[in-house]
Structure 1
Amino acid sequence: MTDPATTTDRPVLTPPDGHRKVLLHSCCAPCSGEVMEAMTASGIDYTIFFYNPNIHPQQEYLLRKEENVRFAEKHGVPFVDCDYDTDNWFARAKGMEWEPERGIRCTMCFDMRFERTALYAHENGFPVMTSSLGISRWKDMNQINGSGARAVAPYDGLDYWDFNWRKGGGSNRMIEISKREEFYQQEYCGCVYSLRDTNRHRREVDRKPIEIGKLYYSKADKAD
């Protein structure tokens, strides 16, 4: 069977300074699927780093992580499962509970996750780190890249790869891969405040609240 990761017509990617070893911070399987296949197609040696203590509740966290593990194992990609230290996340989010999406709470969240990613990269010989977070059209690319740049600044020899994973059809391929793999389809960013605000909006437009663990991408939707 042909591997779609190596057959899609993608440009050859080159990480900063020509390095071929990359630590990929992954937030979930749908966002990282295209990033993973793009790096695989370019012959990049990468490892997934899963550190997302923002995701709430734990049931949602485990669903997102397990889908990511499943796809990593399918491609033979190393997967680092980091701590689910929610107490630390809530402590850092204190006072920001009512900040809007893309506001200072999200900056804090990106900073926290990238700081841990950068530390792991530094301690384990990775010259480059990047993230799948920026492929989502719901995210602010500049906000994410700013957090990445700050995270690597303390470490000589560590670069943050700010590649725009959306370009060249990346966003469309992300959806195609999600449908092909029938990934779990999360309906909010991840944190308890995002869940609260999303459900509040749903009530306002007469929609049912989110049911965790119910919605999956479907192969039948490929033509949509």
Structure 2
Amino acid sequence: MKILLHMCCGPCSCYPVQNLRAGGHELTGYFFNPNIHPYKEFKQRIDTAMEFGDKAGLAVVADKNYDLRTFLRRALSAEKREETLAEKPRCRMCYAWRLRKTAVYARENGFDAFTSTLFVSPYQLHNVMKDAAEKIARAENIPFFYEDFRTGWDEGVEICKKLELYRQPYCGCIFSEEERYSNRWKKDHKKKMRKLREQKESEA
């Protein structure tokens, strides 16, 4: 099967590429990640995706348009529509945006299906991504190839180290950077989550 593989980054591509090739699939990488902040990080991740492509013999198509303003408008709009932090509406928006762009490119360029390296991460909202991808597949009339790559997370990390690829310390967006490094955010988040749990328990 000829599959278009959305690449969230080079390191996360290591195991999915190995796994899909072992299954006999023909792959092309597709880098579309307008959520990444700041610009230097965005550039670093594109360069690393291309470096991985060279080392793995994988053709990579990269959208190098740094569209941070559009991402922020969409993310803040999503937060306003749904305030429940536990469900991370901005993340659902971001998954759907990237997966839809991948699906459209796959359909328009003769691929049999699309998938994403996002499905290797134990830190992403796996079922939310899967649901979004399945809906997009139906809407765009292009099959979504699903596989839970999370079982190969540790193996992928080892491959990444052997290839000496840059490995980022946070998801990519300005919000995830804050969540990764801000102690104040972590304290506020814990308080909000505790309040949500208490509300649900009182409603039960």
Aligned to 1:55: 36
Using the aligned pairs only, state the percent identity. Answer: 33
User: Structure 1: how far apart are the matches of 2:86 and 2:50?
Assistant: 27
The residue aligned with 1:221 is: none
1:75 corresponds to 2:59: no
Q: Which residue of 2 aligns with 1:183?
A: 165
Give the TM-score of the pair, scaled to structure 2: 0.82
Tell me the residue number matched to 2:200.
none
Whether 2:99 is the aligned partner of 1:118: answer no
C-alpha deviation, 1:46, in angstroms: 0.8
Any conservation in 1 of the 2:15–2:159 contact (CA below 8 Å)?
A: yes
Report what 2:94 is aligned to: 109
Inter-partner Cα distance in structure 2 for 1:127 and 1:68: 22
The alignment status of 1:159 with 2:140, answered yes or no, reads: no
Work out the CA distance in 2 between the residues paired with 1:154 and 1:140.
Answer: 21
The alpha carbon displacement at 1:176 in A equals 1.0
Aligned alpha-carbon RMSD (Å)? 2.1
Report the CA distance between 1:92 and its aligned residue. Answer: 0.8
Shift of 1:90: 1.5
Asked whether the 8 Å contact 1:99–1:105 carries over to 2, the reply is: no
**Is 1:197 aligned with 2:179?**
yes
Q: Would the aligned equivalents of 1:25 and 1:49 in 2 still touch at CA under 8 Å?
A: yes
Select which of 64, 76, 87 maps to 2:45: 64
d(CA) in 2 for partners of 1:25 and 1:188? 18
**Counterpart Cα distance in 2 of 1:174 and 1:192:** 25
What SS class does the counterpart of residue 139 from structure 2 fall into? coil
Q: 1:99 to 1:88 in 2, by over 3 A?
A: farther
In structure 2, relative to structure 1, the CA distance for the partners of 1:187 and 1:201 (3 Å cut) is farther
Supply the distance in 2 between the matched residues of 1:89 and 1:58 (Cα, whole angstroms).
13
Report 1 or 2 for greater relative contact order, CA contacts < 8 Å, sequence distance ≥ 6: 2
Deviation at 1:110, TM superposition (A): 0.2
Structure 1: gaps spanning 5 or more residues: 1-19, 206-224
Structure with more of its chain in helix, by fraction: 2
Question: Are the structure 2 counterparts of residues 133 and 101 from structure 1 closer, same or farther at C-alpha, using a change threshold of 3 Å?
Answer: farther
CA distance in 2, matches of 1:143, 1:26: 18
Deviations 1:106-155 (A, max 9, x none): 00000111111111011111121000102111112101111211222223
